[in-house]
Amino acid sequence: MKILVTGGAGYIGSHTCVELLKDNYDVVVLDNFSNSCQEALNRIQRLANKKLSFYKADLLESPSVRQVFKDHKIDAVIHFAGLKAVGESTCIPLKYYHNNLTGTFNLLSIMGEFNVKTLVFSSSATVYGDPSTLPITETFPLSATNPYGRTKLMIEEILQDLHTSDKDWNIALLRYFNPVGAHESGELGEDPQGLPNNLMPYISQVAVGRLPRLSVFGADYDTPDGTGVRDYIHVTDLALGHIRTLPKLAEKPGVVIYNLGTGNGFSVLEMINGFEKASGQKIAYQVTDRRPGDIAACFADASKAKRELNWEAGKSLDDMCKDTWNWQKKNPIGYRTQPKEE
Q: Active site residue: 55, 96, 148, 258, which one?
A: 148
3-state secondary structure the chain: CEEEEECCCCHHHHHHHHHHHHCCCEEEEEECCCCCCHHHHHHHHHHHCCCCEEEECCCCCHHHHHHHHHHCCCCEEEECCCCCCHHHHHHCHHHHHHHHHHHHHHHHHHHHHCCCCEEEEEEEHHHECCCCCCCECCCCCCECCCHHHHHHHHHHHHHHHHHHHCCCCEEEEEEECEEECCCCCCCCCCCCCCCCCCHHHHHHHHHCCCCCCEEEECCCCCCCCCCCEECEEEHHHHHHHHHHHHHHHHCCCCEEEEEECCCCCEEHHHHHHHHHHHHCCCCCEEEECCCCCCCCEECECCHHHHHHHCCCCCCCHHHHHHHHHHHHHHCCCHHHHCCCCC
Q: Which does 240 bind (CB under 5 to 8 A by kind): ligand NAD, ligand UFG, none?
A: none
Reply yes or no on whether 232 is catalytic.
Answer: no
Q: Which does 256 bind (CB under 5 to 8 A by kind): ligand UFG, ligand NAD, none?
A: none
7 interacts with ligand NAD by CB under 6 A: yes
120 bridge partner residues: 78, 172
Q: How far apart are CA 99 and CA 2, in angstroms?
A: 25
Positions touching ligand UFG (CB under 6 A) are 84, 86, 124-126, 176-178, 197-199, 202, 214-217, 228, 230, 268, 291, 294
The alpha carbon of 227 is separated from its chain's Cα centroid by a whole number of angstroms, namely 23
Q: Which does 324 bind (CB under 5 to 8 A by kind): ligand NAD, ligand UFG, none?
A: none
Q: Which does 36 bind (CB under 5 to 8 A by kind): ligand NAD, ligand UFG, none?
A: ligand NAD
265 interacts with ligand NAD by CB under 6 A: no
Smallest gap, in angstroms, from Cβ of residue 282 to ligand NAD?
26
Q: Which does 10 bind (CB under 5 to 8 A by kind): ligand NAD, ligand UFG, none?
A: ligand NAD
Smallest gap, in angstroms, from Cβ of residue 29 to ligand NAD?
9
State which of residues 176, 266, 299, 325 lies at the interface with ligand NAD (CB under 6 A).
176
For residues 73 to 112, the per-residue mask of contacts with ligand NAD, x marking binding by CB under 6 A and - elsewhere, is -------xxxxx--------------x---x---------
28 interacts with ligand NAD by CB under 6 A: no
Going by C-alpha positions, the residue among 137, 154, 125, 116 that lies closest to residue 249 is 116
Residue number with the shortest CB distance to ligand NAD? 10
**Span 40-59, contacts to ligand NAD by CB under 6 A:** 58-59
Q: Which does 215 bind (CB under 5 to 8 A by kind): ligand NAD, ligand UFG, none?
A: ligand UFG
Q: Which is nearer to ligand UFG, 78 or 199 (CB)?
A: 199
Q: Which is nearer to ligand UFG, 230 or 234 (CB)?
A: 230
* Residues contributing to the site for ligand NAD (CB under 6 A): 7, 9-13, 31-36, 58-60, 80-84, 99, 103, 122, 124, 176, 179
Which residues are designated catalytic? 148
